[in-house]
Amino acid sequence: MSRQMERAREILAAYDGPKIRVMEVCGTHTHEIFRLGIRSILPRAFEVISGPGCPVCVTPASYIEEAVWLANQDVVIATFGDLVRVPGGGGSLADARAKGGKIQVVYAPEDALQYAIDHPEEEVVFLSVGFETTTPASCLALKKAAEENVKNFSLLTANKTMPGAYQAMAHSADVFLYPGHVHAITGTGLCESLAKEKGVSGVIAGFRADELLTAFVVIAKNYPLGEPFFVNAYPRVVTTEGSPAAVRLIEEWMEPCDSEWRGIGVIKDSGLRLKKDKDRFDARIRFGIPQMEGKTPGGCRCGEVLQGSVKPTGCPLFGKVCSPDHPVGACMVSGEGACSAYYQYGGYINDER
């Protein structure tokens, strides 16, 4: 262990300040904090809760129902693998595939576009979900589709942006552990203004053990002072201005809209939809998708898990009928989901922090 990490451990071990509820807003943080064993060296006064940071988890059931509806219309659904097993009211995309629906698992929007180019006789819809990190790749695929006049490619959008979520969740946490990769795109301005204008404290954190420990040390040193604070503890990647090119690309193709987050509800201007002049790439318009009901599986408490008000172990289905092999809700399906992390890393044993 490096001297820096040893020092971080010492500082955390010596913490004798007030209790702190720290909310991760990033599924990768949730998993890395477990995987690296960081929970076990945090002070008992630190309560780490998972927020709405997993893109698959926050995508509402109605979106899955739209995708299943499309799969039943002889449209090829190109999607990241996690979404295939998330249940909607009418079953999952895996169920649709079992009934003959065409589901193509891809690793990037560009793969979906390439599939469309290679199969001009098929209509291909890419399921565009995720935060500021992944949205530029969807926009890039659209840009290429427009340049190459690809006529059989469109997006079903459920892209989300973080500012609204931070504000909606501000009451749930004392300090946010902000997602480093989101702010590599957006920069730090939002976090700074949340601290200054709304009194919301937070630290941008990286993903390595030393970076996460540094972020928790920053929290341990600043929170007891009693003033809202913001620190960028991931400066090797996150800059003040972020990535203006990625932001411009998003703004060229998409515009803000109100968006539904699983368990949280509709948050104003927290989503992105295609601009009006890009209608031909909008699967909802192209195929006239009807309004969906958005039924969540009975007994699943993903909504509360995503708000940090219930830990995965507080769900009566956890580990009994719901597991990564047989997931009932989105938070157990996704590799970034809190329920999956608790199950995988034994959070049900060491659950008090």
Structure tokens at 110: 């560009």
Distances (CA, A) of 128 to 24, 108, 139, 152, 273: 23, 10, 10, 16, 10
Residue 322 touches ligand SF4, criterion: CB under 6 A: yes
Which of the residues 282 through 321 are near ligand SF4 (CB under 6 A)?
300-302, 305, 312, 315, 317-318
Q: Distance between CA 153 and CA 106 in Å, rounded?
A: 14
As measured in angstroms, the least distance from the Cβ of 298 to ligand SF4 is 9
How many residues lie near ligand SF4 (CB under 6 A)? Answer: 14
The structure tokens 């909802």 sit at: 284
As measured in angstroms, the least distance from the Cβ of 229 to ligand SF4 is 32
8 A C-beta contact, residue 190 and residue 178: no
As measured in angstroms, the least distance from the Cβ of 329 to ligand SF4 is 3
Which residue from 191, 274, 332, 341 is in contact with ligand SF4, where contact means CB under 6 A?
A: 332
Cβ proximity to ligand SF4, 15 vs 318, nearer residue: 318
Inter-axis angle of helices 244-253 and 135-147, nearest 10: 60
Cβ proximity to ligand SF4, 78 vs 300, nearer residue: 300
Cβ proximity to ligand SF4, 95 vs 111, nearer residue: 95
Q: Distance between CA 68 and CA 97 in Å, rounded?
A: 9
Q: 3-class SS at 219?
A: helix
Which residue from 141, 162, 272, 328 is in contact with ligand SF4, where contact means CB under 6 A?
A: 328
Residue 264 touches ligand SF4, criterion: CB under 6 A: no
- 262, with CB counted inside 10 A (0-12, 13-18, 19+), is buried
Cβ proximity to ligand SF4, 18 vs 348, nearer residue: 348
Cβ proximity to ligand SF4, 61 vs 190, nearer residue: 61
Residue 331 touches ligand SF4, criterion: CB under 6 A: yes
Residue 209 touches ligand SF4, criterion: CB under 6 A: no
8 A C-beta contact, residue 249 and residue 278: no
The structure tokens 């809209």 sit at: 257
Cβ proximity to ligand SF4, 239 vs 323, nearer residue: 323
Inter-axis angle of helices 189-198 and 162-169, nearest 10: 30
Residue 341 touches ligand SF4, criterion: CB under 6 A: no
Q: Distance between CA 282 and CA 332 in Å, rounded?
A: 29
Residue 96 touches ligand SF4, criterion: CB under 6 A: no
Residue 56 touches ligand SF4, criterion: CB under 6 A: no
Residues that bind ligand SF4 (CB under 6 A): 300-302, 305, 312, 315, 317-318, 322, 328-329, 331-332, 339
